[in-house]
């Protein structure tokens, strides 16, 4: 019996970004050390009581226990459309332009599977949340990275990447974007996002925008949507979709749900492929998410304030601990830390392992977010300020030790 068949799709996928340091983390945990885990962006706060109540109520109804076929509860799609209408100058036809997904990650994966094939090229941010690069690769397409970093215009970086693809005699088919951006925390203004979308339009490409951090822009009331940037939304719908998620905004990562909105053709393509792949999200989760979008505006507002306080707290504490000054956090739930020169030779994976073993602080190595993440660590803001200060102090002590500096 041959057991050594190649698994081409899996064999060509690098290990998942957050998994590379898991073994060391498990070892440090098993030693009984007090590990401060700032690795995964896994919200630490529980669901709010009214949301738990909505889930309970819906679970108590037997007809909510069945498969739910189709594009999601009309009630949930309607709540997403109302959410958009309340926040942005953007209206969506709930029958044709909105679909429920099992979280943003699932929506992104299957949208790529639906629209990309082996001849296609997708432009993806670098660094990026791993599925932004992984989904086109899983779909068999090639990826061309465009750089995302502070001080660089994203439109310019995208334009350069498009040029590279065109020079090879190819055409970019899909641009994946994510602002507010994981892992760098970069937030774009409406004008910057419009300039970026202008590049997509010039290239006549499709656009998939991941707006999972819609509620976590620290300097503005809202992070911009690609459907409200001063370009007629009906024009943008011809080539774009956007995905939002309840995971981070409502602390629902365990009962997560997402909504993809935008052009009817792309939404129908996603619905078509999903009709083979899943039977919809658990109805109580859809009902709770719909309720959250319509009635729980205070939750994302409070969470945004919490992450902002934590970000400021961590940045200041790292500064006091001897790290070079970090830029003021703009949004998301992460701090993107450039490795100090003394740790650069270790690489981000080596540095993350050393920090875990010697300081009992877990971070995500930048390399897990793509080649452009090398030289950085991502710190998730999933602990309160005293723990973040303790983590910074431990990292500062290790830094001093490695610099050969004696601490008083």
Ligand X SMILES: Cc1ncc(COP(=O)(O)O)c(C=O)c1O
With tokens 């465009």, the residue in question is: 146
Strand partners, 227: none
The rounded distance, in Å, linking the Cα atoms of 293 and 361 is 35
Which residue in the block uniquely carries the two structure tokens 């073994």?
Answer: 23
Q: Which is nearer to ligand X, 300 or 396 (CB)?
A: 300
Closest by CA to 287, choosing from 92, 68, 104, is: 68
Comparison of 241 and 359: residue with beta carbon closer to ligand X: 241
Residue 41 binds ligand X (CB under 6 A): yes
- For residue 105, the minimal CB distance to ligand X (Å) is 3
Residue 183 or 263: the one with the smaller Cβ distance to ligand X is: 183
- Return the number of the residue (177 or 283) whose C-beta is nearest ligand X: 177
Select 258 or 263, whichever has its Cβ closest to ligand X. Answer: 258
**Residues 299, 47: contact at Cβ < 8 Å?**
no
- The total number of residues written for the chain in this structure: 408
**Of 64-72, 89-97, 245-253, 289-297: span binding ligand X (CB under 6 A):** 245-253
Q: Which residue is nearest to ligand X (CB)?
A: 103
Report the residue number, 105 or 237, with the smaller CB distance to ligand X.
105
Identify the CA nearest to 167 among candidates 159, 175, 157.
159
Q: Identify the residue among 125, 258, 329, 373 touching ligand X (CB under 6 A).
A: 258
According to CB under 6 A, which one of 71, 182, 286, 392 is a site residue for ligand X? 182
Q: Choose the binding region for ligand X from 221-229, 252-260, 281-289, 355-363 (rule: CB under 6 A).
A: 252-260
Contact pattern from residue 287 through residue 316 relative to ligand X, giving x for each residue in contact according to CB under 6 A and a dash for the rest: ------------------------------
Backbone angles phi, psi at 241, to 5 degrees: -130, 160
Among 94, 212, 303, 367, binds ligand X (CB under 6 A): 212
Q: Compute how many residues bind ligand X; rule: CB under 6 A.
A: 14
Choice between 157 and 333, CB closer to ligand X: 333
Extract the tokens encoding 189: 């203004």
Here's the x/- map for ligand X, 139-178, by CB under 6 A: it reads as ---------------------------------------x
Q: Which of 243, 247, 250 is nearest to 291 (CA)?
A: 250
Per-residue tokens: 288: 């709770």
Angle, helices 22-30/347-359, rounded to nearest 10 degrees: 10
Specify whether the CB–CB gap between 347 and 374 falls below 8 A. Answer: yes
Q: Cα(first)–Cα(last) distance of the chain, in Å?
A: 66
Q: Using an 8 Å Cβ cutoff, are 145 and 124 in contact?
A: yes
Residues 45, 383: Cα–Cα separation, whole Å: 9
Each residue 100-139 as x (binds ligand X by CB under 6 A) or -, in order, gives: ---xxx-----------------------x----------
| Contact (CB, 8 A) for 143 and 127 | no
The binding site for ligand X (CB under 6 A) comprises: 41, 103-105, 129, 178, 182, 210, 212, 245, 247, 253, 256, 258
């Amino acid at each position: 019996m041959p057991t050594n068949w190649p698994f081409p799709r899996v064999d060509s996928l690098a290990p998942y970004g957050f998994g590379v340091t898991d073994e060391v983390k498990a070892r440090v945990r098993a030693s009984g050390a007090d590990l401060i885990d700032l690795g995964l962006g896994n919200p630490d706060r529980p669901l709010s009581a009214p949301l738990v109540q909505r889930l309970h109520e819906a679970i108590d109804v037997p007809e909510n226990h069945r498969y739910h076929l189709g594009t999601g509860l009309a009630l949930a799609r309607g709540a997403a459309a109302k959410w958009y209408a309340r926040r942005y100058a953007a209206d969506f036809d709930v029958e044709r332009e909105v679909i429920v997904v099992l979280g943003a990650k699932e929506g992104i994966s299957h949208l790529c599977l639906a629209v990309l094939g082996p001849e296609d090229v997708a432009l993806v941010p670098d660094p990026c949340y791993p599925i932004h690069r992984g989904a086109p690769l899983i779909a068999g397409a090639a990826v061309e990275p465009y750089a995302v970093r502070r001080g660089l215009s994203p439109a310019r970086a995208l334009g350069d990447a498009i040029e590279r693809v065109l020079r090879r005699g190819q055409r970019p088919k899909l641009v994946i974007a994510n602002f507010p951006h994981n892992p760098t925390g970069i937030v774009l203004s409406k004008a910057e996002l419009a300039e970026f979308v202008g590049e997509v339009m010039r290239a006549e490409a499709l656009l998939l925008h991941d707006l999972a951090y819609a509620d976590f822009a620290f300097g503005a009331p809202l992070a911009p949507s690609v459907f409200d940037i001063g370009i007629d939304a009906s024009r943008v719908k011809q080539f774009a979709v956007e995905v939002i998620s309840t995971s981070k905004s409502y602390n629902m990562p365990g009962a997560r749900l997402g909504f993809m909105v935008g052009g009817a053709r792309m939404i129908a393509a996603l619905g078509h492929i999903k009709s083979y792949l899943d039977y919809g999200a658990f109805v109580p989760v859809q009902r709770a998410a719909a309720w959250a979008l319509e009635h729980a505006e205070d939750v994302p507002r409070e969470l945004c304030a919490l992450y902002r306080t934590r970000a400021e707290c961590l940045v200041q504490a790292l500064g006091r601990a001897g790290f070079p000054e970090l830029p003021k956090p703009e949004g998301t739930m992460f701090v993107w830390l450039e490795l100090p020169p003394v740790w650069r030779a270790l690489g981000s994976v080596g540095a993350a392992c050393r920090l875990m073993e010697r300081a009992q602080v877990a971070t995500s190595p930048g390399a897990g977010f793509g080649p452009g993440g090398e030289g950085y660590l991502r710190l998730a803001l999933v602990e309160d300020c005293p723990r973040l200060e303790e983590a910074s102090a431990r990292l500062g002590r290790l830094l001093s030790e490695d610099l050969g500096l004696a601490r008083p």
